[in-house]
A and B are shown apart, each in its own frame.
Chain A
Amino acid sequence: MTSTAGVPPVAPEPVVDGETSRRRGWGWLLLVPGMLWLAVFFLFPTVQLVFTSLYDPSGSYETGYAMTWHFGNYADAVRDNFTLFVRSFMYAGIATVICLSLGYPLAYAIAFKAGRWKNFMLVLVIAPFFTSFLLRTLSWRTILSDQGPVTSFLQTIAVLPDDGRLLATPVAVIAGLVYNFMPFMTLPLYASLDKVDYRLIEAAGDLYSSPLTGFRRVTFPLSLPGVVSGTLLTFIPACGDYINAELLGTPKQYMVGNRIQAAFLTEHNYPLAASLSIILMAVVVLMVVFYVRRAGTEELV
């Protein structure tokens, strides 16, 4: 045993024989359908979108747009819609934080405390997906309506003033975002918490950690991959969402998504819609890269 101390063992290079490399060649073939799909339905439209964003903005739906490499579209889009961008990231950020603080205890309970109710509770988390996204959001209009139970209850306990309302406020839009993206937060959290070996938590207790310290030092760090993927799966689509603002808010609560949708489908101002889309995409990608770097998930096992 003494001879090996301090000397890291060197792993031998795996020997690749002809058989394995041939098999690997076949493995790549399996990627072809997926790659084709991505090329046709993602890569091509993205390139198309970049071109559209550089069309001459003075064109119209009727007369058509000329390609003029008009980079000014981006500056115009940001200048005219700056508050929309800020509002989108704020709403999405707040919704993500709320989702995390509600989803974590839920996922923790399902993973560690649910016992034989585990599968049942998981089905409950997924159950909303059985109804349409639109229908569920519409029903929140009823729940949050001025005469609805939630509003009157909050008025009774004097959290809301008597003429206060929930519908058509930022609260309603954020509540809608939280509700709609909750499963995207809960499921990855559950998946990573469920993988945490309970014996590690016992070991932390054995090594002088109170339950809270044990959670902070062992359980939470081990669930970080779930936290990262959960927050990404919530934040990214929430940034581009427009249904919640449309159905539960007013133009005062509109997000970037609403503007893009209007520019594309109502105003047919394609250059504006395209440059807004690309800016949104770029900013989200930058934020995600920064966040993942900070969280250091590549370090995690």
Chain B
Amino acid sequence: MAETSGDLRFEGITKKFGDFVAVDDLDLTVPQGSFFALLGPSGCGKTTSLRMAAGLEEPTAGRVLIGETDITGLRPYKRPVNTVFQSYALFPHLTIFDNVAFGLRRRGVQDFKKKTQDMLELVQLDGYAARKPTQLSGGQQQRVALARALVNEPGVLLLDEPLGALDLKLRRQMQIELKRIQTDVGITFVHVTHDQEEAMTMADTIAVMNHGVIEQMGTPAELYENPRTTFVANFLGQSNLIMATVTGRSGDSLVVDCEGQTIEVEASRSHVESGRAWLGVRPEKLTAVPTGREDHAGANVLTGGKVSDVSFVGVSTQYLVAMPWGEELMVFQQNTGQHTPLGHGDTVDLVWSPGHAFLLDAKQDAHAGMMTPEDDE
């Protein structure tokens, strides 16, 4: 058995299926004990990366390491890694107890009975030991799959879309449950998902993957507040992207011209130095105020908007504001009572703090990473 602890590292990992490059020269370090999410749309290479860590797929080039041990050439059954499969892959001919005890028995662990029993208690299924998997609900099967992998105390636990088959309410519940279990056991979790909300809820660190490469890696707040690419800006939450031109510098900020209006963006949040750029602002960072109502000293302002749509959604009101250059911007306003409710056709200014916008490369596709309805399940 290889060394069982340490960081999980991918060094220059490439995986090709024929001509298709699923994973392209991937370098990645997952710190020991972290809850790490690989987030991306289907076909981005996240599951392939996970399967290479499990040993179910062999990389075309590169190395996989745990700590200092190279596990690239190890067969799956010799790796200190366990997987929670997307379809759970529970053994239908074995009872819940035998499913969970499977790995312990194969390794000849003496007190497998007690360990299995304890693990069933941890996932709150101790009354179900004698049942068969088909006699359990989806959520229960999911917990059996988790217990079956966790009971082996692997160095790294791999989770392949573990909550994908559950309904929304159960998924929320399991997200909290998974997070609690990870904190309890302290094992490194690598969680593959296409659900950005799920990744942000659970993970300490998220790597956003697209077309076989990592677009950006960081804490959920970093990725959300300061995305580096249009893909990340759109895939995590929603963004307004406006075409702008960098015209100069003022202290720690870049000055940009946005359809004739001057805007400042903090340099640390600007991922271009000069020329054309996408100015990005999250909808909830924008405030829409009736034209000429207030003094906006120190804030960025875009004037000349006209409310074209109002949707009341309880905690907030979502506005679409048509700008003079034809683009419609989204504004989410919390219903705290501090904002004046706006009506269809009102003329408004859009206001935000300079620390809330970001500047992205204009060559990138403004629609990259946007959810199409069939992706968003």
Q: Which residues of B contact A (CB under 8 A)?
A: 54-56, 75-77, 81-83, 85, 87, 89, 91-93, 102-103, 106-107, 124-128, 132, 134, 137, 148-149, 152, 173, 177
User: What 1/0 flags go to A262-301 for Cβ under 8 Å of B?
Assistant: 0000000000000000000000000000000000000011
Contact A301-B93, Cβ < 8 Å, known A1-B173, A199-B85, A205-B75: yes
Contact A209 to B77, CB < 8 A, known contacts A7-B127, A300-B93: yes
Question: Which residue in chain A gives the minimum CB-CB distance to B79?
Answer: A206
- A208–B149 Cα distance when bound, in Å, is 11
CB under 8 Å from chain B, chain A span 60-84: none
- Extra pairs beyond A200-B91, A202-B89 (19, CB < 8 Å): A1-B173, A2-B124, A5-B126, A5-B127, A197-B89, A202-B56, A203-B89, A205-B55, A205-B56, A205-B76, A207-B77, A207-B82, A207-B103, A208-B103, A208-B107, A209-B106, A217-B102, A218-B93, A301-B92
Q: Interface residues of A, CB < 8 Å — how many? A: 27
Contact with B along A116-153 (1 / 0, CB 8 A): 00000000000000000000000000000000000000
The answer for the CA separation of A104 and B56 in the assembled complex, in Å, is: 25
The answer to whether A8 touches B127, judged by C-beta atoms less than 8 angstroms apart, is yes
- Identify the closest chain B residue to A11 (Cβ): B135
Kindly state the separation between the CA atoms of A197 and B90 in the bound complex, as whole angstroms. Answer: 10
A2 to B123, CA, bound (A): 10
| Complex contacts, A6 vs chain B, CB 8 Å | 126-128
Please indicate the chain B residues that have their CB under 8 angstroms from the CB of A5 in the complex.
Answer: 124-127
Q: Are B89 and A200 in contact (CB under 8 A)?
A: yes
Top 7 nearest A-B pairs by Cβ distance?
A6-B127, A207-B103, A203-B89, A208-B106, A205-B76, A199-B89, A301-B92
Does A101 make an interface contact (CB < 8 A)?
Answer: no
Task: Report the minimum CB–CB distance from B174 to chain A (whole Å).
Answer: 9
Does A221 touch B at the CB level, under 8 Å? yes
Among B91, B107, B148: residue with most chain A CB under 10 A = B91
**Docked complex Cα distance between A209 and B317 (Å):** 55
What distance in Å separates the Cβ of A286 from its nearest Cβ neighbour in chain B? 27
CB proximity of B177 to chain A, nearest CB, Å: 7
Establish whether residues B106 and A206, one from each chain, have CB atoms under 8 Å apart when the complex forms.
no
**B89 with A208: CB separation less than 8 A:** no
The verdict on A222 contacting chain B, using a C-beta distance below 8 Å, is yes
Q: Give Cα distance in the complex from A301 to B90, angstroms.
A: 13
Q: Which of A207, A218, A301 has the most CB of B within 10 A?
A: A207
Task: Confirm or deny: A46 has a beta carbon within 8 angstroms of a beta carbon on chain B.
Answer: no
In chain A, positions 24-63 with a C-beta closer than 8 Å to chain B are none
Partner of A206, one of B83, B124, B127: B83
Chain B contacts for A204, CB-based, 8 A: 91, 102
The yes or no answer to A210 lying at the interface (CB within 8 A) is yes
From B83, B103, B132, A301 is in contact (CB under 8 Å) with B132
At the interface, yes or no: A12 with Cβ under 8 Å from chain B?
no
CA distance A8 to B131 in the complex (A): 10
**Nearest CB of chain A from residue B116's CB, rounded to whole Å:** 13
Cross-chain contact A207 with B124 (CB below 8 angstroms): no
A5-B125, A207-B82, A301-B132 known; A222 vs B103 contact (CB < 8 Å): no
**A213 located at the interface, meaning its Cβ lies under 8 Å from any Cβ of chain B in the complex:** yes
Q: Mark A184-204, 1 if CB is under 8 A from B, else 0.
A: 000000000000010110111
In the assembled complex, the CB of A85 is this many whole angstroms from the nearest CB of chain B, namely 36
- B91-A218 in contact (CB<8A): yes
A9 at the interface (CB under 8 A from B): yes
In whole angstroms, what is the CA distance A8 to B124 when docked? Answer: 13
Q: Is the CB of B93 within 8 A of A207?
A: no
> 27 A-B Cβ contacts within 8 A?
A1-B124, A1-B177, A2-B124, A5-B124, A8-B128, A9-B137, A197-B89, A199-B89, A200-B89, A200-B92, A202-B76, A202-B85, A202-B89, A203-B91, A204-B91, A206-B55, A206-B76, A206-B81, A206-B82, A207-B106, A209-B106, A210-B75, A210-B77, A214-B77, A300-B93, A301-B93, A301-B134
Listed residue (A205, A208, A214, A301) with the most chain B CB atoms within 10 angstroms of its CB: A208
| Residue pair A203, B83 in contact (C-beta under 8 Å) | yes
Q: Which residues does chain B contribute within 8 Å of A207, judged by CB atoms?
A: 77, 82, 102-103, 106, 148-149, 152
The residues of A that contact B125 with a CB separation of less than 8 Å are: 5
Tell me, rounded to whole Å, the shortest Cβ–Cβ distance linking A39 to chain B: 37
